[in-house]
Chain A
Amino acid sequence: MQKFKLVNLGVGVLCGLLISFNWGVELPHNSLGNEAEAMETLLSDYISEQVYLQTRIEILRDEIEDAENEIEIQGDEVSLSTLEELRKDIGLGKVSGAGIEVVVDNGRNVGRSGEGMAVNLVQASDLRDVVNALYSGGAEAISINGRRLITSSTINSVGSNILVNGVGISAPYNVEAIGNIDTMLSRIEDRTLLASFYTKVLNANIRLMVEIHDRISINEYNGELKSDLINIIN
């Protein structure tokens, strides 16, 4: 009898400890408190400047293309059609075609700051996984919330923001991809390739919606192209 009471007491205490521990746990989130709030202001300034610079780049590239077409350059070594083809391949031209739209959103009842829980937020890694799955399914052009991705594009978390090509975007995240619909769908539905992502989707930590479209338009890339440290082998 005495032994039974002790076992009961032990189990009760253990239960109490676990409940308290679960309630007491402050789940880590992307914000680093007050310091992060100051950083958010700085980040916001950087992002505003980026939006201006990217718009300027877009305008300048259009003007350059128009000026080149007017001059009608043609020679043995240079050809405007080669340039045009390369620009298209890199992602410097607007494209359209059949494709899929993958919408990824935060879980319900979650805030991005304060007590918002990291597990219920879409992370940059979730978007990277979706983009990787689409590329492996043969996507020819991808954008996230209208931001065109190129080979060197990055998707990162900075503070409580997700940045695509260095520009902040917010949920819901619309990933649009042009390419073979069947192969892209098969990769997006692949729960082995997207193991972590589907763990969160199935736990309702994040929400997923996939739609097929007959026509999707994806804008040109409007960021920087850096190749000054790359030299051609003659």
Chain B
Amino acid sequence: MTQRTITMLVVSILLGMLIVSQVKTFELINSTLARENTDNIFQQLKILKGKNDALRQEVSKLESNLSQLFNKESALAIVKSEINELMKLEGQVGVFGEGVVITFDGNIGSELMTDMLNELFNAGAQSVTINGLRHTTTTAGFDLLPNRQIFYAGQILTPPITFAGIGDSKKIMEILDSQGGIISRIKDSNKDMAIQVEARSVIQMGSTTQNSAFVD
């Protein structure tokens, strides 16, 4: 083997290593950034400001509740309203309200399912269903089956995958559909998938033991 051949071999190996390293780096950066909304810090700050407003409202509500607990009659009403609120949030009763429905005509995987759910609550959804199954403390967690199907709330989720969220539909739509928002990021990583986002005047959700439906 001549010196020239050895040089060529070393250079070729180096070249191969550089190409692989570069591809790996870009893949990692893309996969990392595809899941974070780095484009719109203003939108995120707006959401954060909204959260502070919500916390202030919660303080006012609790202060008002506390002031009414020193009279037995009003205390009864407060406790009843607290029970109703917690039952709504815990999925123990059927509920309805305006909101948003997002439909993915395919499987987006457990990671993007987790991101989608996070963004729905981040945008102000107060109650969420996935393929009609109410999201509560007892149903949380997307599991992955060996054939890459998503297992959620004791059921296999088959496409289309539908997220429904009750909340201020205008605000939720604005945040989900913004530039660099979750919908555009999911579209970027699933170019052939049809994704539909629509506001609904009424979304109906069953309790954790009932099925849910969407009614306009």
Contact = CB atoms under 8 A, between A and B. Distances in A.
Interface of B: 4, 7-8, 11-12, 14-15, 18-19, 21-22, 25, 28-29, 31-33, 35-38, 41-42, 44-45, 47-49, 51-52, 54-59, 62-63, 65-66, 69-70, 72, 75-76, 79-80, 82-90, 92-99, 110-111, 114-115, 118, 121-122, 124-127, 135-138, 140-144, 151, 166-168, 204
B58 A225 contact: yes
B154 to A, nearest CB: 11
B90 to A, nearest CB: 5
Please report whether the interface of chain A is mostly helix, strand, loop or mixed according to DSSP. Answer: helix
A19 B18 contact: yes
B89 A64 contact: no
The 5 closest A-B pairs by CB, nearest first: A135-B141, A136-B141, A86-B86, A224-B58, A60-B62
A67 B66 contact: yes
Nearest to A25: B25
Contacts of B18: 15, 18-19, 22
A64 B56 CA distance: 17
A112 B121 CA distance: 26
B61 to A, nearest CB: 9
A232 B97 contact: no
20 contacts: A46-B49, A57-B55, A60-B59, A61-B62, A73-B75, A78-B83, A82-B83, A89-B137, A90-B86, A90-B89, A134-B141, A151-B140, A157-B38, A159-B41, A166-B52, A187-B143, A193-B110, A224-B57, A232-B95, A233-B95
A49 to B, nearest CB: 6
Contact of B118 (A27, A56, A128, A228): A128
A81 B48 CA distance: 35
Contacts of B122: 154, 156
B141 to A, nearest CB: 3
Interface stretch (A35-43, A97-105, A208-216): A35-43
Please report whether the interface of chain B is mostly helix, strand, loop or mixed according to DSSP. Answer: helix
Interface size on A, as a range, is 35 or more
Interface of A: 4, 8, 11-12, 14-15, 18-19, 21-22, 25, 27-28, 30, 32, 35-36, 39, 42-43, 46, 49-50, 53-54, 56-57, 60-61, 63-64, 67-68, 71, 73, 75, 77-78, 80, 82-83, 86-87, 89-91, 118-119, 123-125, 128-129, 132-140, 150-159, 163, 166, 187, 190, 192-193, 195-196, 199-200, 203, 205, 223-233
Contacts of A129: 111, 114
A21 B88 CA distance: 55
